Amino acid sequence: MSHALTLYRLQQTDSRLDQAQTRLKALEAKLESDPVLLSARAAAENAQNSFNAAQSALRQAEQASLAVKIKQETTESSLYGGRIHNPKELQDLQAESAALKRRQAELEDAQLEAMLALENAQAALQTAQAALRRAEQDNLSQNALLRGEIQTIQREIEPLQREQSATSSALPAALQSLYATLRSQKRGLAVSPLRDNACGVCGSAINSALAQAARRADPLIHCPSCGRILCQV
């Protein structure tokens, strides 16, 4: 088989693959555009973020409370350990201990509030996640035909990809590069069939000598007008 004909067959495979992948993306986009599902996902994400923030706030409250507790225990150990006898120092330690107790009480209140906030956030998250599961199930039921078509296209794509790889590997690297460049420049059509001494894509007439050379396909002949590779099919 000539390189021109191999390139033409590769193009046919690539075109079918492009069509299948374009259709697949459109179906997947349609599947994902369900407003109820999108809203449920957004609500679940917001609830998760709120839960994470509540967890972080509780950890910070616990750490702050623990730090004050340790400092208070150290202060009371100094106050009642019998090592300090200076009245002024003892008075200062008593004042510091009292302040730490007040601060500890404030932090315990804040910790309790953080715990309640976390419980509420967890409940809201569970509710949002349940709503998301229902939305996903409804979406699955309502779009069974759509999903079936997606699965059919996915099954079609696999053999096309194998065919594409096998056909491409039979070509020299330089021709693969030329084909890829032309395909990118020519809206997916790098190779044009020769039809009645004319380019099958742009319709430009080809003189007899070029037409004969294109039929021999060695070397590759390009359409003088559009630059595509000409191929006798």
According to the model, what pLDDT value does residue 205 have?
94
CATH fold, domain 3-164, is Helix Hairpins (1.10.287)
Say how far apart CA 104 and CA 101 lie, in whole Å. 5
- The b/e string for 9-26 (b: 16+ C-beta within 10 A; e otherwise) is bbbebbeebeebeeebee
Of 163, 228, 144, 139, the closest CA to residue 20 belongs to 163
Cross-strand pairs, 198: 205
DSSP H helices in 143-207: 144-169, 173-185
Say how far apart CA 8 and CA 190 lie, in whole Å. 8
- Encoded tokens for 68: 């004050």
pLDDT tens for each residue of the chain, 233 residues long: 689 999 999 999 999 999 999 999 998 888 878 888 889 999 999 999 999 999 999 999 999 988 888 888 887 777 777 777 777 876 877 888 888 888 888 888 999 999 999 999 999 999 999 999 999 888 878 788 888 899 999 999 999 999 999 999 999 999 999 999 999 999 999 999 999 899 999 999 999 998 888 888 678 999 999 999 999 98
According to the model, what pLDDT value does residue 219 have?
87
According to the model, what pLDDT value does residue 190 have?
96
- Encoded tokens for 159: 């053999």
Q: Where are the domains of the chain?
A: 3-164, 171-231
